[in-house]
Amino acid sequence: MFGRIGGHALRCAGRPVIRRRIYARSFSGQAGAGTAAASAPSPLAGITAELDRIAPRFEVPASQIHIIDTPANFYSTLKNKIRNARRRVYLSTLYIGKTEYDLIETLSHALRDNPKLKVSILTDALRGTRETPDPSCASLLSTLVAEYGSERVDIRMFHTPNLTGLRKDWIPRRINEGWGLQHMKLYGIDDEIILSGANLSEEYFTSRLDRYHVFSSKALTEYYAKIHHAICSLSFQVLPDPQDESNYVLEWPTTNGAPSPLDSPQDFIAYSSTYLSPIIQATENEPARPSEASQTYVYPVSQFTSLLQPNDTSTEFPAVTTVLRLLSSSSAFTGARWLFTAGYFNIHPVLSSLLISSTTTASNTPSTTQGTVLTASPWANGFYGSSGISGMLPAAYTHLSARFLDRVAAAQATNSIQLKEWRKGTVGTPGGWTYHAKGLWVTLPREEHPSLTFVGSSNYTKRSYSLDLEVGALVVTNDQDLKRKLGEETERLQKDASPVSRDDLRRTERRVGWNVRLSMWIVEKVGGAF
């Protein structure tokens, strides 16, 4: 599968503004229309005080955060920034499409025009070599190394330590990806970083809707570069095959601090745990007392559970659950609104419970908090029409949506939580799009637009929080213009969505067969996830 399979810890770069404690006044005095008096502390102060115990915090002016609206604009923005790169390009993604010659040519032009430019690309080994010995992501990327050398172009592929030995030998390709992937999406160019859920292939550039946030911040870009290069140093290196430069080899560099995950998975995990934990944790700092009325904070969050054993110090799951618990338990958030979205609706049961409980009171009666869950219709699911087991996934997600609505009904929250399905045409037909967006937005009581959002690679599933490598950010703001843009983002994502009820999912054409339910049970029992 690999052709031939033949660091030290990085210190934090940049100057992140990292705080353990936040005074209530940090997010007070900037309320929306109809809110409490300016002297009252905002609920955001309670959120930031909790988050400062979990993850690093960066103060980024709202004017330096840009939200891209379409796949085509994402691609054109990415290419334009690569063309103008002066020092570095680093790209973390699940895979680059095996025929993305235009993107490769853009990278090649940038390297040719600027001899000082260095490019680092990280993908997943299982996904990136799936088509071998036919053309693949790995064989395509190796051509850049062949032309510009490994000193300027470093291509890495992460291999999960969960798939080794007989399991790796016997489980078929594509299905084997259920045991863990490099799933981060970090697109860094010089001092700017694009956080997204999108991979780098044609459908993500044309007809698969996702989210794309651009942060123009040197300190934040340095931080994510540190994460990127840390995982690179735990990954195989892709090099041209000396006998055939159109092919590739995967080698485990001697500069990697850990042994190969295929040779010694336990030692690999032990090293990774010691190495990664200090990078992703919050750092003790003296609390600042911001004087600006409009503030925006960005908390990078990471989920590296499979690499952090036995003590999982990942930050994303704690950050998400902290926010949702505040929604569920603090009276300051009564009357808030939230939107949760995932293209593949298989939400972690803890998050599901917290979303539901946020709309009910202690006596399990409805509160004034309202929530919307947005997911892909089966006809907008990337697996629609696929052959084999993957073709069952749209029905499996429908089954999970129905189970979620059953839980909502049991909690007497049907009038407080709405499920919407997104559809724009039908996958595989002219004009048919797929839906791949994921995230969470929270709008404070009596405010019009969201003050908080999670953006990044995570699908918020059991798999995301146990097997895959995920990175994202929690953006907290009281800047009115940025809040308006976040509101526009939620409206844009819901434009082609329609409400779906329990009765809709019981219709004959939506019923899920026994074969789908059995396949879901088998995958979970043998240790995989979807």
Angle among Cα 111, 116, 117 to the nearest 5 degrees reads 45
Q: What is the per-residue DSSP string for 490-525?
A: HHHHHTTEEEE-HHHHTSGGGPPPHHHHHHHHHHHH
Residues contacting residue 409 through CB under 8 Å, at least 6 positions apart: 502
How far apart (Å, rounded) are the C-alpha atoms in residues 159 and 153?
Answer: 20
In this structure, the number of other CB atoms found within 10 A of the CB of residue 216 comes to 16
Phi first, then psi: what are they for 293, rounded to 5°?
-75, -40
- Whether residue 296 contacts residue 61, with contact meaning beta carbons closer than 8 Å, is answered with yes
Q: What are the distances in angstroms from CA 477 to CA 43, 45, 323, 335, 442?
A: 11, 11, 14, 19, 11
Active site (annotated) includes residue 81: no
The rounded distance, in Å, linking the Cα atoms of 453 and 308 is 26
Task: List C-alpha distances in Å: 151 to 104, 120, 147, 250.
Answer: 17, 10, 11, 16
d(CA 299, CA 16): 10
Task: Give the N- to C-terminal CA distance of the chain in Å, as an integer.
Answer: 22
Beta-bridge partners for 189:
89, 192
Q: Is 183 assigned a catalytic role?
A: yes
The four Cα atoms 273, 255, 219, 18 give a dihedral, to 10 degrees, of 30
Q: Nearest Cα to 418, choosing from 409, 426, 410, 427? A: 409
Residue 473 has which token pair? Answer: 């950010």
Active site (annotated) includes residue 218: no
**Amino acid of residue 530:** F
String of b and e for 253-286 (b: at least 16 CB within 10 Å)?
A: beebebebbbeebeebbbbbbebbbebbbbeeee
Catalytic annotation, pick one of 185, 213, 226, 436: 185
| Choice among 190, 241, 267, 312 that is catalytic | 190
Query: Going edge to edge, which strands form the sheet with 417-422?
Result: 58-59, 296-303, 470-477, 452-456, 438-443, 337-342, 370-376, 417-422, 497-500
Cis peptide preceding 290, ω within 30 of 0:
no
Reduced to 3 states (helix: H, G, I; strand: E, B; else coil), residue 395 is: helix
- Residue 388: φ, ψ to 5°: 70, -155
Q: Which of 183, 213, 420, 436 is catalytic?
A: 183
CA pair distance 371, 507, nearest whole angstrom: 24
Which SS3 state, helix, strand or coil, does residue 388 take?
A: helix
Give yes or no for a contact between 352 and 358, defined as CB atoms under 8 angstroms apart.
no
By C-alpha distance, which of 94, 494, 45 is closest to 289?
Answer: 45
Q: How many CA atoms lie within 13 A of 112 on its CB side?
A: 8
Looking at the annotation, which residues are catalytic? Answer: 183, 185, 190
